Structures are given as C-alpha cells and as structure tokens.
Structure 1
C-alpha cells in the first residue's frame, strides 16, 4: 500500500532519528535488561544461599543434641566459610560456642564467640558474643582482656548486662569502687521487674552498696 506524503515525512523523520539515536537506545535497553537479569540472579542466589544455610544449621543443631563435637565443629566452620553473610552463620557461631563451653573446651568456645563478635552482621548477635566471651575471660582470669572486649558501642538494650559483666570483672580485680559504679549503672539500665536486676543489687550490696558519691 502506498504511503501518503505525510506518512512518508514521518517515516523519514523516524529513520533519521533512529540513525542518530538508535544505537544509544539499543545499548540503554541492553544495560537495563542486563541489570534486571543480574538482580533476578542475585535474588535467586540469596534465596538459594539461605536455604542451604538453613539446612546446614539443622545439621549443626542435630550434632549439638547428639553432643558430636567433631560434627559441630565441621558444620560451624562450613557455615562460616560458605554462608558468612546469612543470619544462620552468627546463630551457628553462638550455638557451637555454647556446645564447646558445656563440653569444657573454652578455647574453641572463645574462637566461635570471637568470630561472631567480629563478623556477625547484626549488632545484637555481636553484643551477645562479646558478653559471653568476656565471661569466659573472667573465668580464665584474663581481666584486662575481658574489659577490652566490653569496650566500645553496644545496642542500648545491652547496657545493663554489659555494665553487670564489667562489675563482675572489676570485683575480681578488687577494684571495688569501680565495680560499685558499674553495678549501679547496671541496675539503672535494667528493667525493675527483671530478676536479673535483683541479682545485680545483691552483688552490689555484697561489696558495700552504692558508690561512695551516691552513698554520700
């Protein structure tokens, strides 16, 4: 079918525009499609990683129940090397640390806790690991190292438990005035309805009550 004059002008204009911008448009479309494909691929990869990590975490939990130390260690190391970016890695680190601690293997427990403290993606898991690690260091009489672990920023909800742990270490160092101040902070930062708050008060009373400045 023949085109009329107006249609021919439109086609000529379109041809001219395509010759000028067609290559650019093609590349933009290619890049956009490539980005979409990459995003879909990454989403699939993340989903697959999470599913595999969940399966491995179940294996670790079964090993914990069976008290199979070698399997726990293998599963935890595998999780850390393959799925370190997932929440299951930090959960596995804490679970493996507790299993090692219960078995009396404090060195392995410390290794797992240190990994979580350094590598966990969530501040809350890092905080739990640090408080537990400081507890082991207290048992080992590594007081300065334990206090160092408790330095730095912690999520607000951990202020009480961190101060409490500092108080325990300071008592062990016979730094009673500093310990009183730490326990007082722990009491102030702990919910009044918590049984933990009552235990902190008992520890504070055992070393002479409130800090000197407060007592005055």
Structure 2
C-alpha cells in the first residue's frame, strides 16, 4: 500500500517511538498482567486456605465434643501452626487450652492461651484469653500472677462482663474486697440487658465481708 508524504512521516515517527519505548511499554503491560494474575491467585489461595481451615475447625469441634483428646490436640495444633491470623486458628487455641485443662495439664493450657494473646494475630480474642489465663492462675493459687495477666488487657465493651467478673474474683482472692465489689458491680451493670451471670454475681456480692457491702 502506498502512503502519502504526511502518512509516511507519521509512520516513521511511530516506528521511531516504538523502537525507543516499545520494550518499556510491553514490560509495563506484562507487569500489570502479572500483578492482576497474582492478585486473582492470592484471592483464590486465601479462599482455598479459608475453606481448609473451616473444615479442620468443624473436625476440631466434633473431636472436642466426643472427648477425642488426641485429635483435639492434633487438629488444634495444626490450625495454630498452619493458619496463623485466621479466625479459626485463634478459636482453635481456646479448644487447645480447654482440652489441656480437661487433661489437667495447666502448662499446656497456659501455652495455648499465651499463643492467642501474643501470636494469633486476633486482638479481638486477647481479653477472652487473658480472662481464661487468669482463671488458671487463680486455680493454681497465684492471684498476683492472675492480676498481672488482667491488668495488661484492653477489654472491649463485649468483654465487660467476663473481664470484670474475673477481675473481681482476683481481687477477692487477694482480700482486696472493695475493689472486688467495684469490679463485680461493673460486671453486673454490663450484664443488665442479658442477665446471664447476674444471679452468680449477686451471690458473689453477698459473699463479701459485711463491712464491704
């Protein structure tokens, strides 16, 4: 095909531009395509990993209900190791701790709960883990250690009942009855809507020395 002079000049300019910039343009396009493919691949991988974690978590629940200690430990440890940051890994830590307590292995329970606090990547579970850990320390007669565990907590509104209930228990064990009363009253106020633990909290408040009431 014949081109007039103006068209030929335009083609020559385009050819010169492509020779100078064509490789860079192709590189940018290639990188963009690879980035898009990687993004899609990562989303697929996350969904795949999430589905695997979900299946494992259901198996963990079943094993715990059935009292299958061996599988509880195996599945929980697997979730915690292979899926850190996943919501089910954090929950698996609680099952791991509960199974350890059921087997009267408090050190293993402490380890699982400390993993939730420090390594799970799920800050929304931290206070619940601290409440459980403080309970273990109380059972071991270590009220000071229990208080240290709780004072480092940053409880959310949803944690108000369980946190203040346990804090009251710790203060009571330390014979700091005024602080125990204040903590239990906070728990009572937070439980006003649901009322689940209100009867127990009232019993605890009634157990305080007369001069504290």
Scaled by the length of structure 2, the TM-score of the pair is 0.87
Would the aligned equivalents of 1:106 and 1:136 in 2 still touch at CA under 8 Å?
yes
* C-alpha deviation, 1:169, in angstroms: 0.8
What is the CA-CA distance between 1:130 and the residue it aligns to? 1.5
* 8 Å contact kept, 1:184–1:210: no
Alignment map for 1:1-216 (pairs within 5 Å)? 1-151=1-151, 152-208=153-209
Structure 1 contact 123–154 (Cα < 8 Å) conserved: no
3-state DSSP class of the match of 1:121? coil
**Distance across 2 between alignment mates of 1:122 and 1:22:** 47
Give 1:103 shift: 3.5
- Contact 2:80 / 2:120 at 8 angstroms: preserved in 1? no
Q: Which secondary structure does the structure 1 equivalent of 2:192 belong to?
A: coil
Say if 1:117 and 1:129, in contact at 8 Å, map to a contact too: yes
Question: How many residues matched?
Answer: 212
Judged with a 3 Å threshold, the aligned counterparts in structure 2 of structure 1 residues 19 and 209 are, in CA distance, closer, same or farther, namely farther
- Asked whether the 8 Å contact 2:117–2:130 carries over to 1, the reply is yes
Moved more, 115-124 or 165-174: 115-124
Cα 1:208/1:187, change in 2 over 3 Å = farther
| Structure 2: unaligned runs, 5 residues or longer | none
Pairwise CA RMSD of aligned residues? 2.3
Q: Post-superposition shift, 1:193?
A: 4.3
**CA contact under 8 A between 2:161 and 2:187: conserved in structure 1?**
yes
Query: For 1:191 and 1:147, how far apart are their aligned partners in 2?
Result: 25
CA distance in 2, matches of 1:180, 1:55: 44
